[in-house]
Amino acid sequence: QFTPRVFSGIQPSGGLTLGNYLGAITKFVSTQEAGTHETIYCMVDLHAITVPQEPDALRHNTRELCAGFLAAGIDPERSILINQSQVPEHAQLGWVFNCVARMGWMGRMTQWKDKAGKNAEAASLGLFAYPALMAADILIYHATHVPVGEDQKQHIELTRDIAAKFNHDYGVDFFPLTEPVIEGAATRVMSLRDGTKKMSKSDPVDGSRINLTDDADTIAKKFRKAKTDPDPLPGSVAGLEGRPDARNLVNIYAALEGRTVDAVLAEHEGAMFGHFKQALADLAVEKLSPISSEMARLMDDPAEIDRILARGAERAREITVPILERTYEIVGM
């Protein structure tokens, strides 16, 4: 009944990380290449402003994120590439979903609890409502699948709850129950300074993350200084038990090479970490430096990026306008 369609987004909240790249963007590209689904990829600027953003920085970061998508292999002809605020139906459906979702559901979101911290009273209302807007981002396309990192699993479950409640309340079968696609060796890339915390663009700890714009020396230095596990590499995954920092570096290596963790361990068994980190740095530089130089080239022509996004918004609205109209009709508007 529903066209196989993939939607996913990334916040332009400053710098793309290796976590975004391995957990999300490489999957966006492989889905586009597979040709099994229509693919829609989004810079979610409306989500970014749930926490304070400096206006010029937000504008810059949105273009830079778009350059990152393009440099990594998203083709704006084969995929629809958009910036969220330029497709107003996202926010319009988001409001409807604010009225479908329950306060209790939102209060249980672990990301809300993490980000609001102990001072929820001071958090923006948008930060609390964020997952309802995310559900709208997905469902305004009737997307059937969402490739994401593990940190987004709970939000996709909430998206299904919102779709199911809408369908039930209005006695329709209008919104699909979207499936998350969480696979590969790097569904959760961890901080290089603390293997128990996710690598994030908003982590202030110096050296905790690799940015796609880092130059070769910076990448090598960050891996060299990554938290080190003194033990040599084991022959199988079982030997990584209780070694989150070691496991993280091996996962990153496997994901960058597109191989399994077991295959990487078999090859490097018994190697000391200092040596492995050097191999990892070389591999990361080899994979990431073509992307960062292409990003820099694209950023020299921001008008071209703006044209690509304007064109993406036009194409997106061919899908979103009819779905919003039908939603309003169902609701009685």
Residues 6+ apart with CB under 8 A from 47: 9, 11, 84, 130, 133, 134
- Helix-helix angle 55-72:302-331, to 10 degrees: 100
* Minimum CB distance to ligand ADP, residue 13 (Å): 5
Binding-site residue positions for ATP: 11-13, 19-20, 149-151, 189, 198-202
104 in Cβ contact with 68 (< 8 Å): no
* Residue 50 vs 327, nearer CB to ligand ADP: 50
**From CA 9, how far away is CA 137, in angstroms rounded?**
8
* Minimum CB distance to ligand ADP, residue 110 (Å): 13
Concerning whether 118 is annotated as a catalytic residue, the answer is no
* Residue 20 vs 327, nearer CB to ligand ADP: 20
* Residue 44 vs 96, nearer CB to ligand ADP: 44
Binding-site residue positions for L-tryptophan: 137
Q: Which of 165, 197, 201, 227 does the annotation list as catalytic?
A: 201
- Residue closest to ligand ADP (Cβ): 23
**From CA 38, how far away is CA 7, in angstroms rounded?**
9
**303 burial type by CB count under 10 A (0-12 exposed, 13-18 middle, 19+ buried):** exposed
* Among the listed residues 71, 69, 74, the one whose alpha carbon sits nearest the alpha carbon of residue 31: 74
Interface residues with ligand ADP (CB under 6 A) are 10-11, 13, 17, 19-20, 23-24, 148-149, 151-152, 186-189, 198-202
Binding-site residue positions: 11-13, 19-20, 137, 149-151, 189, 198-202
- Helix-helix angle 89-98:302-331, to 10 degrees: 40
Q: Which of 27, 113, 115, 227 does the annotation list as catalytic?
A: 115
Q: Which of 198, 227, 277, 287 does the annotation list as catalytic?
A: 198
Residue position matching structure tokens 């009685």: 332
* Minimum CB distance to ligand ADP, residue 202 (Å): 5
Fill in the amino acid letter for 51: V
DSSP result, 83-125: EGGGSTHHHHHHHHHHTTS-HHHHHT-HHHHHHHTT-GGGS-H
Phi and psi of 146, rounded to 5°?
-130, 110
* Minimum CB distance to ligand ADP, residue 108 (Å): 18
Concerning whether 115 is annotated as a catalytic residue, the answer is yes
* Residue 63 vs 317, nearer CB to ligand ADP: 63
Concerning whether 201 is annotated as a catalytic residue, the answer is yes
Strands (E), the chain: 5-10, 38-43, 80-83, 145-147, 179-181
> DSSP 3-state assignment of 179?
strand
* Minimum CB distance to ligand ADP, residue 96 (Å): 23
* Residue 184 vs 312, nearer CB to ligand ADP: 184
Instruction: Indicate which residues carry an active-site annotation.
Output: 115, 198, 201
